[in-house]
Amino acid sequence: MDRVPAAERLLDLVIALSHTRHRMTKGEIRRHVNGYADAASNESFDRMFERDKDQLRSLGIPIVTLTDSAHEDDVGYRIDTTEYTLPPVDFTPAEVGVLSLAAQVWQDSSFAAESRRGLTKLRAVSDLSDPGEHAGLALRVRGPDAAFAELLEAITDRIAVQFTYRTARTGTSAQRTVEPWRLVAKDRGWYLIGFDRDRQAQRSFRLSRITTKVRRVGERGAVHIPSRIEVPPVTTTEVVLALVPERASALRARAEPCEHPSAPSDRDVVRLTVTDIDRFAEQVAGYADSVLVLEPSELRSAVLARLRAATTWGEN
């Protein structure tokens, strides 16, 4: 018979000591709690039980020791459920609204599933406030780009890679063969710095513009990584937006007021700099008609393309 895993034995002990009417003696624990029958001797059982008891107490589970008034030597144990049971969860609609915003922060990261499960549990205990009241307030935390892990492994293995890359200025795509040297994070984005074999020069590539899976080429150990690598400055683009009053707070926090001759009179005009037009277009499109792009034209086109795609979503 296979031995019961320690984690399963601990869980069974918690269940048994939580549901006993009065207490359980060591003998009862050894006979009835799953896993303790594996002990080869009384001494082995004592060591196992003492270890488990100490571990549960270190986790904050209140195991109390009890003696029988008629048989003081007959020691028993149970879990004090009054100290162990959590009080009922009771949130006001406003509090759940704030928590729902916190859950939205992780929607693009590896914590998305956990945040959705937590929000579902909140729905079961309290009424959520209107999600529309929070439109434009929540920031988003993105996980690393899809190519990050493959490029990091390629740098470790010192092997060249190939991928299709979309340039920022022209929007054209082409295959690149690169000897990867380093991954750096700058201005809300990840960049690969390496030697571009096609152009025979050092180049930097924003990971969000890699449009295909990274493929290895050549042999491991063939890439020489310089001891000193110059990190080039990040190219930025100035954008001008017209915002509906009291909306798009996350954009306002990054921007400064300005004037523009084409701006509607009933909107607030702001200016800010971005490093990735495509990624910023995703954020702007999420505000729908609350944000109007005045400059540059490539950002306006990128936002319109996403909005048109959203209107045809699900159509055959």
CATH of domain 6-84: 1.10.10
Q: How many CB atoms lie within 10 A of CB 316?
A: 2
Which band of pLDDT confidence, cut at 50, 70 and 90, is reported for residue 268? very high
Q: What is the pLDDT of residue 129?
A: 46
Tokens representing residue 167 in the block: 């340039």
Q: Is the pLDDT of residue 55 over 50?
A: yes
Q: How many CB atoms lie within 10 A of CB 57?
A: 11
Q: Please, how many CA atoms are within 13 Å of residue 103, restricted to the half-sphere of its CB?
A: 19
Residues for the chain: how many in total?
316
Q: What is the pLDDT of residue 100?
A: 67
Contact assessment for residue 129 and residue 97, using Cβ atoms and an 8 Å cutoff = yes
29 vs 1, more confident: 29
Q: Is the pLDDT of residue 222 over 90?
A: yes
Q: Could you read off the pLDDT of 286-307 as tens digits, one per residue?
A: 888 889 999 998 889 888 888 8
Q: Is the pLDDT of residue 108 over 60?
A: no
What percent of the chain lies above the pLDDT cut of 90?
27
Q: What is the DSSP string of 223-245?
A: PPPPSS---PPPP-EEEEEEE-T
Domain with CATH 3.30.70 in the chain: 237-309
Tokens representing residue 213 in the block: 């899976």
129 vs 217, more confident: 217
What percent of the chain lies above the pLDDT cut of 70?
75
Q: What is the pLDDT of residue 132?
A: 46
Which band of pLDDT confidence, cut at 50, 70 and 90, is reported for residue 235? confident
Between CA 288 and CA 307 the distance in angstroms is 8
Which band of pLDDT confidence, cut at 50, 70 and 90, is reported for residue 60? confident
- Buried b / exposed e across 77-112, counting CB within 10 Å, b at 16+? bbbeeeeeeeeeeeeeeeebbebbbebbebeeeeee
Which band of pLDDT confidence, cut at 50, 70 and 90, is reported for residue 262? confident
Query: Where do the DSSP E strands lie in 135-197?
Result: 160-166, 173-186, 189-196
108 vs 313, more confident: 313
Q: Is the pLDDT of residue 107 over 60?
A: no
Q: Could you read off the pLDDT of 162-191 as tens digits, one per residue?
A: 999 988 666 688 999 999 999 988 766 788
Q: Could you read off the pLDDT of 115-170 as tens digits, one per residue?
A: 667 666 666 655 554 444 444 444 454 556 778 889 999 999 999 999 999 886 66
Average pLDDT (234-255) is 86
Q: Is the pLDDT of residue 225 over 90?
A: yes
Domain with CATH 2.30.30 in the chain: 148-217
198 vs 92, more confident: 198
CATH of domain 148-217: 2.30.30
Q: Could you read off the pLDDT of 17-47 as tens digits, one per residue?
A: 988 888 898 889 998 898 888 888 889 999 9
Q: What is the pLDDT of residue 157?
A: 93
Q: Residue written as tokens 């991954």?
A: 183
Q: What is the CA radius of gyration of the chain?
A: 30
Q: Phi, psi at residue 254, to the nearest 5°? A: -100, -5
Between CA 43 and CA 293 the distance in angstroms is 76
Task: Given CATH 1.10.3470, say whether it is the number of domain 237-309.
Answer: no
Q: What is the pLDDT of residue 277?
A: 81
